[in-house]
Amino acid sequence: MISYIRREEEEEEDDDVSFPVRALVRIEKKGKGDLLLSTIAQDGYLHIEGIRYFKEGQADLEDLSKDIGEQRQDLYMGPVFDELDEDLQVTFSKYLEERGIDTALATFLPDYVDYKEQKEYVNWLKDVNDFVSA
């Protein structure tokens, strides 16, 4: 009986855990260039994985679906974020928070992705049903 209760509690805890959502954050300053931050939003936390800086004109950032690394392999990728000094990591996190990229967004992203996936799934079912029924 005790092991069943523990499993039930573990399942409830698993329900509260959101799935990770990768998000690419672009911060642009005219005449200065762009910061691109690779992040993962999960459980109300936005984890920064990496930061790249591009001087103005160094990379085509209008289509972020393209792999920037493949566009400009000659540019320095930046350090591994987790290996940066802890104070610098905190500074970057605060920099994002000041721009509204915070826990509210990190909580919203997985929910929105789930909603969008469900909506796409329902549309797909409808389209396939229409096709098969014709």
**Sequential pLDDT tens for the chain (134 residues):** 333 344 444 445 556 677 899 999 989 999 999 898 999 999 999 999 999 888 887 766 665 555 555 556 677 888 889 999 999 999 999 999 999 999 999 999 999 999 999 999 999 999 999 999 98
Q: What is the pLDDT of residue 78?
A: 84
What 30-34 contacts at long range (C-beta under 8 Å, 24+ apart), as own/partner pairs, is: 30/56, 31/56, 32/56, 33/58, 34/59, 34/61
Instruction: Please give the Cα distance from 113 to 58 (Å, whole number).
Output: 31
| pLDDT for res 66 | 57
| pTM of the complete model | 0.72
| Dist CA 16 CA 22 (whole Å) | 19
pLDDT of residue 62: 65
Helix (H), strand (E) at residue 70: helix 68-71
75: tokens are 């540019």
Q: HSE (CB half, 13 Å, CA atoms) of 30?
A: 0
User: In whole angstroms, what separates CA 85 from the centre of its chain?
Assistant: 22
Residues facing residue 51 across a β-bridge: 37
pLDDT at 108: 93
